[in-house]
């Protein structure tokens, strides 16, 4: 059973099979050509979904890896957005640098929130982060510096000599950053720090006896998660051109948690998929009305039993139900369903081969 020629880099490299290069190129081609194929207003939706994907990556680091729950990530999104905008307007910092700073400032607040989080488990942490998210919006709403309830207009951004005007040019910036960040988080997850993160959610005590400084890594995961969310906040400001405290609500924080749960906690693919679905739902709350058969039926139902003005809120019902049923049926989310599907196909393929060999005890 000894494998003298094993290449150990194989385990952690991005592309394990030859086909994966092709998949990557296909993905890139799709990403690059998408805004050229879709109508203009859809590009805005894509940008929004990409911002959600970045937040999803951040939530996955915190909730999926270290198992700490956060109900206040809209607060980090706000911190990132306001940091970037204020740096650009007050100090004339160029957009790329302001965006990086948004990540750092948000990370700093993540670190601060991570400190009390060390002493808190489960419900207590959920409550503390919930309070944090609400406190951030309260402070923003009542401070002149942040424009109060009226919000702030985001100045025009340029990358070097190129102005970012229009959704398509913003698309390439936002999706490019999303892609790079996703790769970065993936790399992080297969190396030392990511492993320490995941060990903590599995068994804090075992992690500590392996030499993992649990307090340090828990705080670090808050900072990393907040940094990603802060960058997402900056990009959200870039794409919408306007920010106000009304954007960064408690329900948005819930949405962020929902998307990683729905996608599958602890899986990057899951987080990305969940974020895409939930990002779409969150922006296109009225999308259900536009569905071919269900749409009119839903409208009829609403008119009869509910209300038509309230129909956009149907999206929240769907989001809530998706979470409830995910937890009821497959707590590992979309990713779990995928794994199950793989397992069943594998099993049905391999049953015949296994029967000829001796069955049990061959661990």
Partner 1 sequence: MSFFAVDGLTMRFGGLTALDDVSFEVDRGMIFSIIGPNGSGKSTAFNCISGIYQPTAGKIYFEGEGISGLAPHHIARLGIARTFQNIELFSTETTIDNLMLGRHQHMHSGVWSGVAMLGRATSAAREETENRERVQWIIELLDLVRVRDRPVGELPYGTQKRVELARALAMEPKLLLVDEPSAGMNADERAEVAVRMRELRAELDVTILLIEHHVQLAIGLADRVLALNFGKPIAQGAPEEIRQHPEVIKAYLGDG
Partner 2 sequence: MLPQVLASGLSAGSIYALMALALVITYKTTEVPNFAQGDMAMVSAFIAYMFLTDFETGFIFAFGVALVFAFLLGVGFEGLLLRRMRKPTHLNLIIMTLGFTLALFGFAGWKWGADQRHFPFPISANEVIRFGSVSISTLSVATILIAGILMLLVFVFFRFTKLGVAMQATQQDPIAARINGVPARAVVGLTFGISSVIGTVAALLTAPLITLDPTLMWDALLKGFAAAVLGGLNTPVGAVLGGYLLGVIENLFGAYVSVEFKSVVAFLIIVIVLWFKPSGLFGRHHERKV
**Nearer of residues 61 and 173 to partner 1, judged by Cβ:** 61
Among 210, 291, 317, 324, binds partner 1 (CB under 8 A): 210
Closest separation between CB of residue 241 and partner 2, Å?
A: 24
17 binds partner 1 (CB under 8 A): no
Spatial contact of 65 and 212, defined as CB atoms under 8 Å apart: no
**From CA 183, how far away is CA 336, in angstroms rounded?**
21
Closest separation between CB of residue 107 and partner 1, Å?
A: 10
DSSP 32-78: HHHHHHS-HHHHHHHHHHHHHHHHHHHHIIIIIIS----S-HHHHHH
260 binds partner 1 (CB under 8 A): no
**From CA 257, how far away is CA 229, in angstroms rounded?**
12
Q: CA nearest 288: which of 262, 260, 317, 268?
A: 317
Among 17, 37, 144, 205, binds partner 1 (CB under 8 A): 205
154 binds partner 1 (CB under 8 A): no
Residues 260-299 that bind partner 2 (CB under 8 A): 261, 265
Q: How far is CA 262 from the centre of its chain?
A: 11
116 binds partner 2 (CB under 8 A): yes
363 binds partner 1 (CB under 8 A): yes
**From CA 17, how far away is CA 23, in angstroms rounded?**
10
Span of 29-37, 123-131, 181-189, 244-252 interacting with partner 1 by CB under 8 A: 181-189
Helix (H) or strand (E) holding 130, with range, is: helix 122-141
Query: Residue 45 burial by CB count (10 A; 0-12/13-18/19+): exposed, middle or buried?
Result: middle
Closest separation between CB of residue 316 and partner 2, Å?
A: 3
**From CA 272, how far away is CA 49, in angstroms rounded?**
10
Regarding beta strands 158-159 and 162-163, do their DSSP bridges make them parallel or antiparallel, or are they unpaired? antiparallel
Closest separation between CB of residue 213 and partner 1, Å?
A: 5
Helix (H) or strand (E) holding 214, with range, is: helix 214-240
214 binds partner 2 (CB under 8 A): no
Q: CA nearest 248: which of 239, 256, 238?
A: 256
206 binds partner 1 (CB under 8 A): yes
Span of 7-15, 120-128, 236-244, 269-277 interacting with partner 1 by CB under 8 A: 7-15
28 binds partner 1 (CB under 8 A): no
**Nearer of residues 67 and 230 to partner 2, judged by Cβ:** 67
Span of 42-50, 225-233, 311-319, 344-352 interacting with partner 2 by CB under 8 A: 311-319
Identify what 213 binds: partner 2, partner 1, none; CB under 5 to 8 Å per kind.
partner 1
258 binds partner 1 (CB under 8 A): no
Span of 98-106, 186-194, 229-237, 247-255 interacting with partner 2 by CB under 8 A: 247-255
- Give the number of residues written for the chain: 363
Spatial contact of 210 and 55, defined as CB atoms under 8 Å apart: no
Pull the structure tokens for residue 26.
């296909």
18 binds partner 1 (CB under 8 A): no
341 binds partner 1 (CB under 8 A): no
343 binds partner 1 (CB under 8 A): no
Report how far apart, in Å, the C-alpha atoms of 322 and of each of 151, 294, 305, 328 are. 32, 18, 22, 10
Spatial contact of 227 and 110, defined as CB atoms under 8 Å apart: yes
Q: Which residues bind partner 1 (CB under 8 A)?
A: 1-3, 6, 8-9, 11-13, 184-185, 187-188, 190-196, 198-199, 202-203, 205-214, 220, 224, 266, 363
Q: Which residues bind partner 2 (CB under 8 A)?
A: 63, 67, 69, 71, 116, 119-124, 126-128, 130-132, 134-135, 138-139, 142, 205, 250-251, 254, 257-258, 261, 265, 302, 306-307, 309-324, 326-329, 331
């Amino acid at each position: 059973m000894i494998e003298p020629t094993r290449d150990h880099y194989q385990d952690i490299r991005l592309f394990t099979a030859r086909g994966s290069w092709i998949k990557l190129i296909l993905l890139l081609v799709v990403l690059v050509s998408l805004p050229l194929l879709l109508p203009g207003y859809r590009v805005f939706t894509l940008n929004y979904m990409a911002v959600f994907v970045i937040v999803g990556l951040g939530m996955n680091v915190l909730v999926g890896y270290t198992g700490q729950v956060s109900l206040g990530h809209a607060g980090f999104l706000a911190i990132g957005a306001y940091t970037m905008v204020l740096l650009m307007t007050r100090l004339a910092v160029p957009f790329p640098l302001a965006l990086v700073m948004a990540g750092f400032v948000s990370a700093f607040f993540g670190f601060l929130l991570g400190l009390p989080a060390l002493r808190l488990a489960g419900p207590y942490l959920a409550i503390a982060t919930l309070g944090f998210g609400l406190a951030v919006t309260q402070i923003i709403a009542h401070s002149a510096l942040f424009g109060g309830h009226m919000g702030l207009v985001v100045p025009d951004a340029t990358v070097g000599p190129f102005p970012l005007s229009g959704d398509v040019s913003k698309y390439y910036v936002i999706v490019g950053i999303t892609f790079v960040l996703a790769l970065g988080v993936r790399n992080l997850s297969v190396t030392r720090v990511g492993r320490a993160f995941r060990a903590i959610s599995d068994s804090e005590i075992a992690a500590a006896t392996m030499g993992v400084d649990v307090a340090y890594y828990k705080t670090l995961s808050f900072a990393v998660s907040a940094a990603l969310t802060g960058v997402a906040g900056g990009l959200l400001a870039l794409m919408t051109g306007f920010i106000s405290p009304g954007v960064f609500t408690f329900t948005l924080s819930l949405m962020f948690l929902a998307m990683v749960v729905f996608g599958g906690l602890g899986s990057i693919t899951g987080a990305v998929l969940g974020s895409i679905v939930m990002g779409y739902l969150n922006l296109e709350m009225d999308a259900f009305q536009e569905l071919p058969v269900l749409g009119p039926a839903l409208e009829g139902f609403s008119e009869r039993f509910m209300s038509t003005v309230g129909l956009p809120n149907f999206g929240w019902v769907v989001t809530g139900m998706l979470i409830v049923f995910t937890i009821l049926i497959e707590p590992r989310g979309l990713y779990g369903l995928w794994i199950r599907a793989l397992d069943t196909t594998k099993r049905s393929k391999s049953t015949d081969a296994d029967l000829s060999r001796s069955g049990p005890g061959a661990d």
